Chain A
């Protein structure tokens, strides 16, 4: 089965050491690590938004051979910053997700509803709170209906209800065959993902199922904190 995301010798000088990666379709992957570890860099590099060394392939196709428009259909990236300079209404921002589909409007209303933005659809995006703007970015990514989604810190600014909702959406997408790579700060949420990638100062130091990787020694080494997971107390992620 071709990997949804493949990286070989992926390196960003000064920020990311060479790494190899294969993420299959239908995987929900968390990227964790302390500040400055290179999580955002990894996501940007995989999304083709950074100059980097090494090879990256989406669904088996080398990145540099995929025309710009098709990239919009295959992969959606949501950045950490949710700053919008101009006062487009929320609906129009989310509609931008349909750019690669010639502005075909299907899926926009659903994306708005999934992120609880329907009541804000006509409001200028500049007049939203930080969390609301993050949701707009996510809705836009969902509207692309791209099978591969890379979200950088999507829940950091969301309140608990919306955070859980986003994680539920993530799981839903993956269950339907999509691939999702999410960078997170909250290790407890990461524990519920299919796979976890641990970055420490630009190097990939862990790649596997969370209960294998997120051991006390690793957490001590990477996060400089004494902590263990108490299996029985790890919260369940919401499911449908």
Chain B
């Protein structure tokens, strides 16, 4: 497909998904009501629903989707493998452990421990701690295999930690349910505070990532050749790890664990528009945002009690399997 059509097409799809997220929901609102509400007019109910419920939720869906899409591209370039995903280095597991720790230990430490900010902050801290641990495990100047294996080990360890915390809350049925809900990802009860927490950071990280596309092209075809061609590989890898971790950590902190966005979206866009990272990065941000908003819409429109992470897996999983079966 011709790359020139890509950007307008992706922007259009994102705009549609965003508008649909504002227009559809439990409450039936007409398009004009939605537009009025956005403008500040219309009746109070519509205004509240659109501006205080759906708008923050849509913004977070957009930001988290963009973050995961971008992070997926970075991981795939970094590991020179189109099957890499944001969670490889334990970022999501670390974020999960942080959040679950707050949910599980919060009631015991007293309610005050688990305020609105505590959970996302703990999640971000957990995510960074996990990445730090992986880097330490793999030691300085680590090759990609070393990093990968450290990531695998850490993912397992963190998963065990999370399960342990889950068992300690078995008596507190509601806490248990809350934890499971978070682990399956979701955008309910997202408020403007969550937007303030995640969106600026994600925006900045995405902007910082875009100019690295050129160097990522070289890195994706070989670390040594990239270095020989003039890329400061050590510095680039550091930048990529930090930005990818930040993006995944922020997305996970406000939306829970959501898989397949970072894996499937970049992969599909690469197949459609080519591997040039100068284009793939912005496309994956737009595509990731659109995909996530679409999945969230599904959870709200079809009252089957499906969680967001479940929908992304139900769509992404089979799609991914189909991708694997195609001849190279």
Contact = CB atoms under 8 A, between A and B. Distances in A.
A128 B220 CA distance: 18
Interface stretch (B57-65, B173-181, B237-245, B269-277): B269-277
Contacts of B214: 99, 103
A86 B228 contact: no
Contact of A88 (B224, B229, B231, B275): B275
A207 interface: no
A201 to B, nearest CB: 23
Contact of A86 (B220, B224, B229, B231): B220
B221 A79 contact: no
Contacts of A44: 224
Nearest to A89: B274
A15 interface: no
Contacts of B274: 87-88
A157 interface: no
A96 B230 CA distance: 10
Interface string A37-78: 000000010011101000000000000000111111101111
Nearest to A51: B141
Contacts of B221: 84-86, 88, 93, 96
Contact of B229 (A51, A85, A100): A100
A206 interface: no
Contact of B276 (A85, A92, A137): A92
A71 B218 contact: no
A71 to B, nearest CB: 6
Contacts of B328: 126
B276 A88 contact: yes
B230 A100 contact: yes
B230 A68 contact: yes
B218 A96 contact: yes
A71 B230 contact: yes
Contact of B227 (A48, A92, A97, A103): A48
A71 B233 CA distance: 12
Interface string B204-229: 00000000001101101110110111
25 contacts: A48-B227, A49-B228, A68-B227, A68-B231, A71-B228, A71-B230, A72-B228, A72-B229, A76-B228, A77-B225, A77-B228, A78-B225, A83-B222, A85-B221, A87-B274, A88-B221, A88-B275, A92-B217, A96-B218, A99-B218, A99-B229, A99-B231, A103-B214, A140-B225, A144-B229
Interface of B: 80-82, 141, 214-215, 217-218, 220-222, 224-225, 227-233, 235, 270, 274-276, 328
